[in-house]
Structure 1
């Protein structure tokens, strides 16, 4: 089964021992000093080492934070970018057990040969080379056992830590950290669901079938499940190694990389979010092979249309059009300072257009837009961060493969082709047809809707606020005040207990501290359950 994490349903009580362990690690790496203000933050290397020590979930969370230059200073981002996915490989017995449970047959019955030494071992899974009984050469991706319970516990602990931080430092609420944790949990859900990855591979193979210099390994469906994914074997070598031996082949390879990235984004609303050299191989016949679709993003049609307009505005240096297109891609909010945002985007575009074309980066431009938006109250969607990360990784790889390549030239050529297609007669006709249907529906519904509004107006009940509504509002205010008081008391117990646990006193101080931490967590759980029951009762 694939891992499914729901932070709302994860038990805080179950996470209590893990929470105490996390607090101890944070104290050892000087995080408690951050309670005194930004000037007392731990050094960047301590932050990275903390995530490494806390294990798989926090490694992944650190990688997510590394995409958020709008939240953290550059020194911390640079350090978090050093976090890597490599972990010691699990033994062949654990791998065999997972495969046999998931596929419902002994390993030797499914595969004629199965290498005990993995080709690669990362945080979520490891890959083994194998041969099927029909002679088909395959790669088998096997998920690490026990991920579901471990990740669910860590997400529960993270959720509680964020809630505690917001109660202590209300200014943190502007950062939308609970939303960040929820998006992180959803990202882990996607990355650990191998059935979703298999569907993504099928979609990418279909979308890129007309790209002649590209091959994507097919899924072997009968040997795949939620935690085991079997693919055709890619018998090539990493593109960065190939580039050192065959530099003359790189312009063509880079053109293919740019095309596959932009074509899937604008035509299918899909993108590979981790296009680093380890996921791009060169086959013996010179074609590229794209691997690992565990981290992909999706853009709906309105967002793709806005992205097209945004890129066009960035190229033209039109700050007003870029601002409008950017805001169309984000969640609307009355708190957005549009005038200040426009000024910042003007400055971003000015820097882009005064730079040497060889130094211009689409990923860095997107990153600057995200930072400007966050400063002025914009709630950026998670997919936009993922897309920005994908461009940054792709551009970094291209500069590594061929430092002298005119990347923007390849980009402009492909974006021109896609823009012409975007505004083609067939597409305009399709959109016009959809608009006509919507107008037809509006015209048919309008008379009835108008009669109902006029009838309510004549009866005098249009917009009337009944007294029971006022009473309900007062009741909600009272209940929320009670919840807030209880939450502050629970937070005080957790903080006081944590200080006793972390103090080098030992003995009864340590026991009392752990009792206070657990009591605070239980109090929070009781408040949450009570609120949930009242909410359900009102429905």
Structure 2
């Protein structure tokens, strides 16, 4: 569907109006949508705000979908400038809670039974409220246990889907039209954000994630993931053990007895999730950790997680090892393999820039090395070369930076490299263990057999098509929408010009014939033709002047 087909929608107009209101009229005009005259009447007067502040305010004004988009983009340190990231991290789910009657309806409709058949108590006032869901304290009727019930806001799924549909059309329209946007691959970026948001709305998925993570930490000392009660969960509701503790951001760290132990536990857990399990909490900020009276860490909010393949995990281990060993060539190779982009990389230039960054960090004492910041600077270099990380890798880096920052806020003297080194060595050895090597050989043999089975058939198919003259090469054109719009404008003006010329010529012939009714002493048809021709000429000249001003 073309963007002009949705330009009449009220929500689309609201988005366009908000962009113009905060000074982003250039982007709106590049979309080439109807209603420009109305939008030109809107002026933004608050000039003391910088570009990044205005971008944050646009997202805040447009509501939950756009706030969530901003929060997801705040994890893309590989993609966005530091100034914008700082503004996006200020975005808060500052929304009023839904009425109890609406929440009760969601619960009852999803379970198909009255609320009091499941819960003997259900507090009407939520203990937490965010843009996608809110949490209520309750008590299970079956066993009397106190629980926390997370309930999705009514209609929020439809709201997000509709907003993302509009954003996808805008992204396709802008992609390639603005030179500075090319590196972002806007359509792909919006599709990925849409996928992440819909995953977070899938409460069954979050329930299963909590079950998996709980099983991986069950033998860990001091780490707790609340138990979920699957029989009281569905796609809109999660019923879980009520976690009792204080949010880490509200805790007075000086009052803790085991700050160093807590910091090491949290960091070790994050590193294991990334490097060993390939399955990690995407946003381990202090608001998602509780500390209870026994100083256990309680992990909350598993709606958004990242996943890494075994291949990527092994390459990450190689990357950390290469950083410690100052092997710039391997670091460069791995970084290029981690990225995607439309531009070819000048490997020699990139390697020299990587060398500069690595040299600065290797001169520092190991305990002062900030691993997350190092990865962030390396990805910044990649962005300057037109390359960006895949989404899961960028989220992983943001997760490591956040986990490292959280751990160091607990215990400033934490030596991250010292804590990570034993794990990296162990995982490096296990990678080349006899069992893993046998699995690798078996996998390669399976690929080889599949290749020898499929290759003759595929080769025969190509030869057969060539023999029949059916072999064709297909070219796919990308980012030609801007050129297509320009060609349409040129053709339209050309047609108007031809019609105008024909009107002047025809009118002149009528006047020379000097027949028929008269107006102002001349044949009426000739005068009307001149007037219409003059009007079209003026319209054409004005359109050309406006396009030059842009």
TM-score (norm 2): 0.77
CA contact (8 A) 1:194 1:227 kept: yes
| 1:71-109: CA deviation from partner (whole Å, max 9, x where unpaired) | 443222211221122322111111111111112211111
CA distance in 1, matches of 2:458, 2:19: 60
Over 3 Å counting, the alpha-carbon distance change for 1:465 and 1:276 in structure 2 is farther
CA distance in 1, matches of 2:233, 2:215: 19
Over 3 Å counting, the alpha-carbon distance change for 1:245 and 1:436 in structure 2 is same
Summarize the alignment of residues 203-352 of structure 1 with structure 2, pairs less than 5 Å apart.
203-244=212-253, 246-331=255-340, 335-352=344-361
CA distance in 2, matches of 1:344, 1:152: 42
Q: CA deviation at 1:436?
A: 4.3
Over 3 Å counting, the alpha-carbon distance change for 1:20 and 1:272 in structure 2 is same
Q: CA deviation at 1:406?
A: 2.6
Q: CA RMSD in A?
A: 3.6
SS of the residue corresponding to residue 290 of structure 2 reads strand
Tell me if 1:183 matches 2:192: yes
Q: Which residue of 2 aligns with 1:96?
A: 104
Which residue of the other structure, out of 13, 22, 25, is the alignment partner of 1:32?
Answer: 25
Decide which moves more: 322-331 or 298-307: 322-331
Over 3 Å counting, the alpha-carbon distance change for 1:233 and 1:66 in structure 2 is same
Q: Which residue of 2 aligns with 1:469?
A: 472
Summarize the alignment of residues 386-405 of structure 1 with structure 2, pairs less than 5 Å apart.
386-405=395-414
Q: How many equivalent pairs are there?
A: 475
SS of the residue corresponding to residue 175 of structure 2 reads helix
CA distance in 1, matches of 2:438, 2:265: 30
CA distance in 2, matches of 1:19, 1:334: 33
Q: CA deviation at 1:404?
A: 2.6
Q: CA deviation at 1:68?
A: 3.1
More contact order relative to length (CA 8 Å, sep ≥ 6): 1
Q: CA deviation at 1:248?
A: 2.9
Q: CA deviation at 1:299?
A: 0.6
Q: CA deviation at 1:258?
A: 1.8
Q: CA deviation at 1:449?
A: 4.2
Which residue of the other structure, out of 364, 375, 390, is the alignment partner of 1:381?
Answer: 390
Q: CA deviation at 1:151?
A: 0.9
Tell me if 1:74 matches 2:82: yes
Q: CA deviation at 1:144?
A: 0.8
Q: CA deviation at 1:355?
A: 3.1
CA distance in 1, matches of 2:158, 2:204: 19
Tell me if 1:168 matches 2:168: no
TM-score (norm 1): 0.79
Tell me if 1:485 matches 2:493: no
Tell me if 1:152 matches 2:151: no
Q: Which residue of 2 aligns with 1:110?
A: 118
CA distance in 2, matches of 1:215, 1:481: 53
Over 3 Å counting, the alpha-carbon distance change for 1:248 and 1:463 in structure 2 is farther
CA contact (8 A) 2:207 2:238 kept: yes
CA distance in 1, matches of 2:446, 2:470: 42
Q: Which residue of 1 aligns with 2:57?
A: 49
SS of the residue corresponding to residue 147 of structure 2 reads strand
Tell me if 1:432 matches 2:438: no
Decide which moves more: 173-182 or 349-358: 349-358
CA distance in 2, matches of 1:427, 1:305: 12
| 1:483-502: CA deviation from partner (whole Å, max 9, x where unpaired) | 95358759x99xxxxxxxxx
Over 3 Å counting, the alpha-carbon distance change for 1:433 and 1:160 in structure 2 is closer
CA distance in 1, matches of 2:254, 2:3: 51
CA distance in 2, matches of 1:245, 1:283: 15
CA distance in 2, matches of 1:59, 1:241: 24
Q: CA deviation at 1:384?
A: 0.9
Decide which moves more: 375-384 or 417-426: 417-426
Tell me if 1:196 matches 2:205: yes
Over 3 Å counting, the alpha-carbon distance change for 1:481 and 1:339 in structure 2 is closer
CA distance in 1, matches of 2:442, 2:252: 48
CA contact (8 A) 1:44 1:76 kept: yes
SS of the residue corresponding to residue 294 of structure 2 reads coil
Q: CA deviation at 1:21?
A: 0.7
CA distance in 1, matches of 2:26, 2:58: 14
Decide which moves more: 291-300 or 74-83: 74-83
Q: Which residue of 1 aligns with 2:145?
A: 136
Decide which moves more: 206-215 or 167-176: 167-176
Larger-gyration structure (1/2): 2
| 1:296-352: CA deviation from partner (whole Å, max 9, x where unpaired) | 001111111111111111222211111222233334877232222222221221222
Over 3 Å counting, the alpha-carbon distance change for 1:149 and 1:429 in structure 2 is same
Over 3 Å counting, the alpha-carbon distance change for 1:341 and 1:403 in structure 2 is same
CA contact (8 A) 1:31 1:41 kept: no
**Unaligned 5+ residue runs, structure 2?**
31-47, 493-550
Over 3 Å counting, the alpha-carbon distance change for 1:213 and 1:468 in structure 2 is closer
Q: Which residue of 1 aligns with 2:134?
A: 126
Q: CA deviation at 1:358?
A: 4.3
Which residue of the other structure, out of 16, 19, 23, is the alignment partner of 2:12?
Answer: 19
Decide which moves more: 89-98 or 165-174: 165-174
Tell me if 1:369 matches 2:369: no
| 1:503-537: CA deviation from partner (whole Å, max 9, x where unpaired) | xxxxxxxxxxxxxxxxxxxxxxxxxxxxxxxxxxx
| 1:427-457: CA deviation from partner (whole Å, max 9, x where unpaired) | 3333334334444555xx27x846985x789
**Unaligned 5+ residue runs, structure 1?**
1-7, 494-539
Q: CA deviation at 1:66?
A: 2.3
